[in-house]
Structure 1
């Protein structure tokens, strides 16, 4: 089983994924815009919606792909058409014994965001922190430390 995270934005998908790519590296395995939809599908797009992201995939490693899209009212039920940024889940990054990479990821991803819990050693033997990034996505970073 592979567990991936899918993020929805209101017109910020391209900016968010360019930022995530700058942190994690790699190349988009797929990037489709609304204008790429077949015209016979009957999707009505304003000029400003044509360049929004229909789907983007960013492989993080061999087990994880971060995916996302811009919300479009024709693909959402009325209850889901209103986007509440970042309030529905966290993305959890778990590392083993790599304090340097943990600090790098925490510092870069939290830049311009709101830190909920600073990165610090915990009672469960890890280096842990939580924040909401500049795009409203909630993250937890946890690094299990070697027994001291």
Structure 2
């Protein structure tokens, strides 16, 4: 058994996945599109949009799609366990472009370097760099 997140966007899946790739998280390794290569189209507004995508990077795997009945993302976050404070700073800054920082990066009560943000697509990210890692 393996748990992976599945992100639902309404029409911005391509834009979001491109953003995550530019942030250095990884890249799309598989994509199916509504109305392409025999894939069904339940709503013409979704034709050509992402029906299913697999995004993968070092230590990271999630899935995503455009969906006309997607609910706003809430109640879940991606937690990235980082091992380098400089890399944590760089990724946090990249993911935060156009988003909202809810917990600025800093040493927390439990001793780790941690921050939380919601990116411009509504996805929550928590970055945690264990104490002593610099």
Instruction: Give the TM-score normalised by structure 1.
Output: 0.80
Please name the residue that 1:23 is paired with: 23
Alignment CA distance shift 1:124-1:44 (3 Å): closer
> Structure 2 residue aligned with 1:124, among 110, 113, 123?
110
- Residue 26 of structure 1 deviates from its aligned partner by 3.9
Question: Does the Cα contact within 8 Å between 1:71 and 1:83 map onto a contact in 2?
Answer: no
* Structure 2 unmatched runs, 5+: none
Number of matched pairs: 133
* Structure 1 unmatched runs, 5+: 73-80
Please name the residue that 2:56 is paired with: 59
Structure 1 runs (4+) deviating above 3 angstroms are: none
Q: Please report the RMSD computed on the Cα atoms of aligned residues, expressed in angstroms.
A: 2.0
Which structure has the bigger radius of gyration?
Answer: 1
Question: Does the Cα contact within 8 Å between 1:9 and 1:69 map onto a contact in 2?
Answer: yes
Q: Name the SS for the 1:29 alignment partner.
A: strand
Please name the residue that 1:70 is paired with: 66
Instruction: Give the TM-score normalised by structure 2.
Output: 0.88
Distance in 2, matches of 1:34 and 1:83, equals: 19
Please name the residue that 1:76 is paired with: none
- Residue 44 of structure 1 deviates from its aligned partner by 3.7
Structure 1 residues 30-39 or 131-140, which shifts more?
30-39
1:94 equivalenced with 2:91 (yes/no): no
Please name the residue that 2:92 is paired with: 106
